[in-house]
Amino acid sequence: MMKKPLSAAILALLLLASPTLAADAASAQVMPVLEMKPGTMTVMERFAPIYYADGGETTGSVYYAGTATAADNIIYTRPLERLYSFTFHPGVPEKLYYANANEFNIYLTAETGSGWSAESVVFTHTTYVRDLAFAWDQNGNFGLYFSEATGAGGDGRIYRVDGAAATPIYTVKLADVGGFWAGDFAFDYEGNLYLSSGNRVPASIYKVATGTGAVTKIFESTEGSIAGLVYRGGRLYYADWRQNIYRLDLSSMTSTLYYTNPARQWLSDVGFKERRDAAGSRPTAGTYTRFSTMPMAPMQKVLMPS
């Protein structure tokens, strides 16, 4: 049988008989409530190991940064030539895809039990491949995406690799992005597309809304460039074409220094190595209705900063 709750009179007698209980009850009346604010959560959040490329190296590598202050480790080095952009396969993260922004090829290598497999070409474009990203489309189809761009020389494009062909999915009009785009892009989990201006200052990030194709400048930095970027859990992580990686919180539009290494030259791209094929964590390519075919200016090589 369920017992009845104590009456107010009985509770009062208990409090008089037990000073400790009375003191606890009194303190409970004034105990402040701990409110978890965004800043508190940021302090508690652990550093997520991040990977990056250094476009300034004549023989390019992908590096691993395990903490915000520890020295990095090289995980892979090309046999020859630079490495500007890279992406890990989100379903098989042992596979590493990469490109030299002044070559036409997309390359693949994979971790094996005895090291890395030999470099192989998985796709050859008709001009320079600037940046890479994996994503699912609105129908649940998975694919590899890449960009071509000429800086200020003309509108750029983003393509999906379809076997031996490349299907254009979006044209980046220079008029929408301040007159300059170096080819860096990223998808979030809802299908929105993000474009960064590249190796120029002031630098900007633009958001292309899925469904409408509306382009909005969401962030600007006068401190440095914004090169390769990646989306993860409500934030954008980007390289500044110098020695730093920043994290941009998209809810507050606050950018904070995430990692720095003065030993590096020109950090050109960033990425995470993890399975990201579960629902709710998939990079997704949306539908951008403003796509149009436009003549392209002659392709130009990436100009290195002095």
pLDDT score of 89: 97
Q: Is residue 126 part of a domain?
A: yes
The phi and psi torsions of 97 (rounded to 5 degrees) equal: -110, 145
Q: Is residue 265 part of a domain?
A: yes
Q: Which domain holds residue 184?
A: 46-271
Chain centroid to Cα 30, Å, comes to 44
Looking up tokens 């390519």 gives 285
Q: Is residue 114 part of a domain?
A: yes
175 pLDDT tier (thresholds 50, 70, 90) = very high
Q: Is residue 303 part of a domain?
A: no
Number of domains in the chain: 1
pLDDT score of 291: 42
d(C-alpha 245, C-alpha 260), whole Å: 6
Q: What is the pLDDT of residues 94-146, one digit of tens each?
A: 999 999 999 999 999 999 989 999 999 999 999 999 999 999 999 999 999 99
Q: Residue 266 pLDDT more than 90?
A: yes
Q: Residue 243 pLDDT more than 90?
A: yes
Q: Is residue 145 part of a domain?
A: yes
Task: Name the residue among 202, 191, 104, 92 with its Cα closest to residue 147.
Answer: 104
d(C-alpha 224, C-alpha 146), whole Å: 24
CB count in 10 Å sphere of residue 218: 13
Q: Is residue 29 part of a domain?
A: no
d(C-alpha 247, C-alpha 252), whole Å: 12
pLDDT score of 270: 98
Quote the mean pLDDT of the chain.
85
251 pLDDT tier (thresholds 50, 70, 90) = very high
The phi and psi torsions of 17 (rounded to 5 degrees) equal: -75, -20
d(C-alpha 10, C-alpha 140), whole Å: 64
pLDDT score of 45: 64
* CATH number of the CATH domain containing 92: 2.120.10.30
pLDDT score of 44: 43
290 pLDDT tier (thresholds 50, 70, 90) = low
Q: Is residue 60 part of a domain?
A: yes
Q: Is residue 260 part of a domain?
A: yes
Answer yes or no: pTM beyond 0.75.
yes
